[in-house]
């Protein structure tokens, strides 16, 4: 278990270092998010503002779409450079490869979100300051949930002939359930307590994350063995 | 056709006729919904059967990964196709009911929305499977996809308990919250639709297996 986790951290570290050397991918994701903010503003801004609940919901929609950029190459790059075989034959459990990629996806998205969340909050005119600890917890769990789904979706696109087209088809069905919960929780944080207790939704989101991680990690060795 | 199958077909036909009778003649109009209650039986039974079929995809995926037998992959894919068919019936009958009860066919109610997402999600699995030409890879990766997509089914089922919704909660821990005649009709509807679905699964499985064999013969000849 410990060796598996240290292998996962080593894989994540390797990917993060490669990513930091490239730089342009993180910057491209950030720019894509800003373009999305602008595009949505054309449809949503009415009399100089956007309703708070709509704005906060758009935050996760933008992060969801940004994930398509960030998560799609997670395994495809390994497959294209021929290093996937090395990962598959390495003397480490298959789940540690998956967990390593999830950690990498989480860090990658986190790097963009640090800048993106305050900007979107400012432009769309909503504030998370009413419940900052819960906001940080939701951002962490939500991003981890999307990374867990995105890493698995990237692995699933490997055998497909139309990889670029197929990734959204795999990412959407698995990520939507988490996305709905994230949007709902964020709306409640921004608007204040509603009819639904926010902690119940947060617990369901946590359960979703645990279910996705467990399901994916337990079947991941089938995705690595051709 | 063997005797057992013939008996099963006969029982299904008889229960289906009973289902039609109970839905349209036996079940009394509802106090609130009036005659529109009859749409309810065409709505709930296919919805629960669709959930069951998507659950079948999950089980077949696990069985394929465990045993490597291609028949589980074929049954899993058949479950998706028929699950989509029953979800379509659920959505259409739901829209008819919503139009009659709430004045508009689509309300973006959490149950409506999550059911539509469910339809799109499983349609995506079919599209994904079609994009993988290698048969073994399609079975292996398709099984994994069928497993990791299942939380959406749970969320769709639980949506009326999580969110504030227009949908009434009929199935409670204490039992079904409805009149006895409606409860009996729903039970018969459930049995009839489940039996019809099982027959459809078997027939579609046979067609798909035959296609699979044909494909293998063609490939071995070429």
Q: Please, what is the angle between helix A52-71 and helix A132-157, to 10°?
A: 40
Is the confidence at residue B173, as pLDDT, over 70? no
Query: Where residue A189 falls among pLDDT bands split at 50, 70, 90?
Result: confident
Which percentage of chain B shows pLDDT scores above 90? 61
The DSSP secondary-structure symbol of B193 reads H
Total number of residues shown for chain B: 222
What would the mean pLDDT of A188-199 be, rounded to a whole number? 77
CA distance B78 to chain A (A): 18
Encoded tokens for A222: 């089938």
Is the confidence at residue A82, as pLDDT, over 90? no
Q: Could you read off the pLDDT of A210-222 as tens digits, one per residue?
A: 999 999 998 888 8
Query: Where residue A161 falls among pLDDT bands split at 50, 70, 90?
Result: confident
Is the confidence at residue A195, as pLDDT, over 70? no
* Confidence (pLDDT) at A113: 93
Is the confidence at residue A132, as pLDDT, over 80? yes
CA distance A211 to chain B (A): 8
Q: Could you read off the pLDDT of B2-32 as tens digits, one per residue?
A: 888 899 999 999 999 999 999 998 888 877 7
Task: Give the B-side interface with A, CB within 8 Å.
Answer: 65, 113-114, 117, 120-122, 124-125, 127-128, 131-134, 137-138, 140-141, 143-145, 147-152, 155, 158, 162-164
A184 interaction partners in chain B (CB closer than 8 Å):
163
What would the mean pLDDT of B72-95 be, rounded to a whole number? 96
The DSSP secondary-structure symbol of B2 reads -
Query: Where residue A131 falls among pLDDT bands split at 50, 70, 90?
Result: confident
* Confidence (pLDDT) at A196: 65
Asked if residue A32 lies in contact with residue A69, where contact means CB atoms within 8 angstroms, the answer is: yes
The complex's ipTM works out to 0.83
* Confidence (pLDDT) at A48: 79
Encoded tokens for B92: 């259409």
What would the mean pLDDT of B135-159 be, rounded to a whole number? 91
Encoded tokens for A72: 């799609």
Is the confidence at residue A184, as pLDDT, over 70? yes
B145 interaction partners in chain A (CB closer than 8 Å):
156, 170
CA distance B180 to chain A (A): 32
* Confidence (pLDDT) at B129: 93
Which percentage of chain B shows pLDDT scores above 70? 95
Longest dimension (CA), chain B: 66
Closest by Cα among A94, A83, A39 to A61? A39
Interface mutation vs chain B, best among A149, A166, A169, most B CBs within 10 Å: A169
B60 interaction partners in chain A (CB closer than 8 Å):
none
B132 interaction partners in chain A (CB closer than 8 Å):
159-161
Across the interface, whether the CB atoms of A162 and B131 are under 8 A apart is answered yes
Is the confidence at residue B1, as pLDDT, over 70? no
Count Cα neighbours of B184 within 13 Å in the Cβ-side half-sphere: 11
Query: Where residue A194 falls among pLDDT bands split at 50, 70, 90?
Result: low
SS3 state at B37:
helix
Across the interface, whether the CB atoms of B144 and A156 are under 8 A apart is answered yes
Q: What angle do CA A141, A93, A4 make, to 5 degrees?
A: 60
Q: What is the CATH number of the domain that holds B178?
A: 1.20.120
DSSP notation for chain A: -HHHHHHHHHHHHHHHHHHHHH-HHHHHHHHHHHHHHHHHHHHH-BTTB--HHHHHHHHHHHHHHHHHHHHTHHHHHHHHHT-HHHHHHSSS-HHHHHHHHHHHHHHHHHHHHHHHHHHHHHHTT---GGGHHHHHHHHHHHHHHHHHHHHHHHHHHTT-SSHHHHHHHHHHHHHHHHHHHHHHHHHHHHH---SS-HHHHHHHHHHHHHHHHHHHHHHHHHHH--
Bigger pLDDT: A23 or B130? B130
Across the interface, whether the CB atoms of A172 and B120 are under 8 A apart is answered yes
Encoded tokens for B98: 């919503």
* Confidence (pLDDT) at B171: 67
What would the mean pLDDT of B131-154 be, rounded to a whole number? 91
* Confidence (pLDDT) at A162: 82
Phi, psi (degrees; rounded to nearest 5) at B31 = -60, -40
Encoded tokens for A56: 């906060």
Is the confidence at residue A225, as pLDDT, over 90? no
User: Minimal Cα distance from A213: which residue of B?
Assistant: B148
Is the confidence at residue B190, as pLDDT, over 60? yes
Is the confidence at residue A83, as pLDDT, over 90? no
Sequence-distant (≥ 6) Cβ neighbours of residue A44 within 8 angstroms: A50, A54, A55, A58
* Confidence (pLDDT) at A128: 79
* Confidence (pLDDT) at A88: 85
* Confidence (pLDDT) at A20: 87
What would the mean pLDDT of A126-144 be, rounded to a whole number? 88
Look at strands B171-172 and B175-176 and give their pairing: antiparallel
Beta bridge partners of B30: B34
| Measured distance CA(A114)–CA(A119) in Å, rounded | 9
B144 interaction partners in chain A (CB closer than 8 Å):
152, 156, 219, 222-223
The DSSP secondary-structure symbol of B34 reads B
Query: Where residue B133 falls among pLDDT bands split at 50, 70, 90?
Result: confident
Q: What domain range includes position B209? A: 3-221
Q: How many domains does chain B have?
A: 1
DSSP notation for chain B: --HHHHHHHHHHHHHHHHHHHIIIIISPPBTTTBTTHHHHHHHHHHHHHHHHHHHHHHHHHHHHHHH--HHHHHHHHHHHHHHHHHHHHHHHHHHHHHHHHHSSS----HHHHHHHHHHHHHHHHHHHHHH--SHHHHHHHHHHHHHHTTHHHHHHHHHHHHS--SS---EETTEE-S-HHHHHHHHHHHHHHHHHHHHHHHHHHHHHHHHHHHHHHHHHH-
Query: Where residue B220 falls among pLDDT bands split at 50, 70, 90?
Result: confident
Instruction: Closest CB to B155: pick one of A152, A169, A177.
Output: A177
Reported as type and span, the H/E element at residue B153 is helix B151-162
Q: Could you read off the pLDDT of A27-71 as tens digits, one per residue?
A: 889 999 999 999 988 888 887 788 888 888 899 999 999 998 889
What would the mean pLDDT of A133-156 be, rounded to a whole number? 93
Closest by Cα among B5, B91, B9 to B42? B91
| Measured distance CA(A219)–CA(A216) in Å, rounded | 5
Cα B157 to chain centroid distance, Å, stands at: 13
* Confidence (pLDDT) at B67: 93
Across the interface, whether the CB atoms of B155 and A152 are under 8 A apart is answered no
């Amino acid at each position: 278990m410990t060796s598996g986790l240290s292998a996962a951290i080593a894989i994540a570290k390797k990917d993060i270092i490669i990513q930091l050397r490239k730089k342009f991918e993180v910057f491209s994701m950030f720019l894509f998010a800003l373009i999305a903010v602008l595009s949505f503003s054309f449809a949503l801004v009415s009399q100089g503002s956007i309703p708070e609940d709509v704005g906060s919901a758009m935050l996760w929609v933008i992060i969801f779409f940004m994930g398509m950029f960030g998560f799609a190459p997670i395994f495809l790059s390994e497959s294209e450079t021929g290093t996937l075989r090395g990962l598959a034959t390495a003397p480490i459990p298959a789940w540690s490869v998956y967990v390593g990629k999830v950690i990498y996806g989480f860090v990658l998205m986190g790097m963009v979100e640090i800048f993106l969340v305050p900007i979107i909050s400012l432009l769309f005119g909503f504030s998370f300051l009413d419940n900052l600890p819960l906001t940080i917890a939701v951002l962490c769990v939500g991003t981890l949930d999307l990374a867990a789904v995105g890493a698995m979706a990237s692995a699933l696109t490997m055998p497909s002939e139309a990889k670029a087209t197929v990734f959204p088809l795999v990412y959407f069905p698995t990520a939507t359930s988490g996305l709905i919960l994230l949007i709902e929780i964020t709306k409640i944080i921004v608007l204040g307590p509603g009819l639904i207790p926010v902690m119940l939704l947060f617990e369901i989101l946590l359960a979703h994350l645990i279910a996705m991680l467990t399901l994916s990690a337990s079947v991941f060795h089938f995705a690595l063995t051709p | 056709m063997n005797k057992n199958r013939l008996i099963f077909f006969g029982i299904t036909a008889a229960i289906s006729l009973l289902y039609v009778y109970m839905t349209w003649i036996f079940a009394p109009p509802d106090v609130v919904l009036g005659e529109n209650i009859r749409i309810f039986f065409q709505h709930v039974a296919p919805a629960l059967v669709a959930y069951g079929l998507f659950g079948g995809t999950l089980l077949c995926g696990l069985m394929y990964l465990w045993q490597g037998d291609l028949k589980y992959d074929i049954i899993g894919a058949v479950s998706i196709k028929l699950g989509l068919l029953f979800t379509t019936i659920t959505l259409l009958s739901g829209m008819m009911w919503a139009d009659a009860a709430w004045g508009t066919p689509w309300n973006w109610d959490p149950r409506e929305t999550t059911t539509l997402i469910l339809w799109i999600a499983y349609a995506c699995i079919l599209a994904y499977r079609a994009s993988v030409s290698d048969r073994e890879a399609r079975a292996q990766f398709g099984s994994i996809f069928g497993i990791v997509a299942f939380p959406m089914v749970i969320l769709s089922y639980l949506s009326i308990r999580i969110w504030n919704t227009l949908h009434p909660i009929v199935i409670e821990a204490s039992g079904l919250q409805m009149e006895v005649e409606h409860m009996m009709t729903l039970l018969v509807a459930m049995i009839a639709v489940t039996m019809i679905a099982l027959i459809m699964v078997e027939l579609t499985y046979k067609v798909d297996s035959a296609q699979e064999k044909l494909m293998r013969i063609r490939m071995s000849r070429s």
